[in-house]
Structure 1
Amino acid sequence: MKKEFAVIGLGRFGSSICKALAEEGMEVMAIDIDEDRVNEFSMIASHAVVGDTTDETVIKSLGIRNFDHVIVAIGDNIQASILTTLILKEAGVKKITVKAQNDYHEKVLSKIGADFVIHPERDMGRRIAHKLVSNNVLDYLELSDEHSIVEIVANERISGHTIIDLDIRAKYGINIVAIKRREEIIVSPQANEKIQYNDIMIVIGADVDINRFEKKLLG
Structure 2
Amino acid sequence: MRKNFVVIGLGRFGGSICKELTEQGMEVMAIDSNEARVNEFSIIASHAVVGDTTDDAVIKSLGLRNFDHVIVAIGDDIQASILTTLMLKENGVKKVTVKAQNDYHGKVLSKIGADVIVHPERDMGIRIAHKLASNSILDYLELSDEHSIVEIEANERIGGHSIIDLDIRAKYGVNIVAIKRRSSIIVSPQATEIIQYKDVLIVIGADNDINRLEKKMLS
**Where has structure 1 moved over 2 Å in runs of 4 or more?**
none
Offset of residue 145 of structure 1: 1.4
Matched, 1:204 2:204: yes
Letter in 2 for 1:194: I
Q: Distance in 1 between matches of 2:99 and 2:40?
A: 21
2:113 is matched with which residue? 113
Q: Distance in 2 between matches of 1:95 and 1:204?
A: 27
1:163 is matched with which residue? 163
Cα deviation, 1:24-79, whole Å, max 9, x if unaligned, reads 11000000011111010111000000110000010011011111110000001100
1:61 is matched with which residue? 61
1:215 is matched with which residue? 215
Offset of residue 147 of structure 1: 1.1
Q: Distance in 2 between matches of 1:162 and 1:135?
A: 22
2:142 is matched with which residue? 142
Q: Distance in 1 between matches of 2:164 and 2:110?
A: 42
Identity between Structure 1 and Structure 2 (%): 81
The aligned length equals: 219
Cα deviation, 1:93-131, whole Å, max 9, x if unaligned, reads 111100001110011001111111111111000000000
Q: Distance in 2 between matches of 1:185 and 1:77?
A: 42
Letter in 1 for 2:99: K
Offset of residue 188 of structure 1: 0.1
Offset of residue 206 of structure 1: 1.0
Cα root mean square deviation, aligned: 0.7
3-state SS in 2 of match to 1:97: strand
3-state SS in 1 of match to 2:117: strand
Offset of residue 18 of structure 1: 0.5
Letter in 1 for 2:111: K
Unaligned 5+ segments in structure 2 are none
Cα deviation, 1:131-174, whole Å, max 9, x if unaligned, reads 00110111111111111110000001111111111111111111
